[in-house]
Amino acid sequence: MIYYRCKCGKHEAWGSLPPNPCDSCEECGTNLTMHPDLHHPPKPHNWHPTQVETDEGTKVLTRCSWCLKTKLQVEQSGGQHGE
């Protein structure tokens, strides 16, 4: 397990995989890293359109390939984390 945190220390995570590059702390706006010299603003979401079958036919769902949130979910959350 590796410890990750933002620059201000209010957002932290533990895991074997690094946090998504589009995630950041809402307070200081930096990414979560293992070392203080590696902090930077989040990267933009990596949007990937996918065709999905619905009851109304085939539709396009746009989802970030890193955090797996849909474009609508990001917009509803106020565009936080790597707009």
User: For residues 64 and 15, what is the distance between their CA atoms, to the nearest angstrom?
Assistant: 20
The whole-model pTM stands at 0.74
Q: Which of 65, 42, 62 is nearest to 52 (CA)?
A: 62
Cα 54 from chain centroid (whole Å): 26
| pLDDT value, residue 83 | 47
Torsion sign, CA atoms 20, 35, 15, 77: negative
pLDDT tens, 4-57? Answer: 999 999 999 999 999 999 988 989 999 999 998 899 999 999 999 999 999 999
Domain coordinates of the chain in residue numbers?
A: 2-76
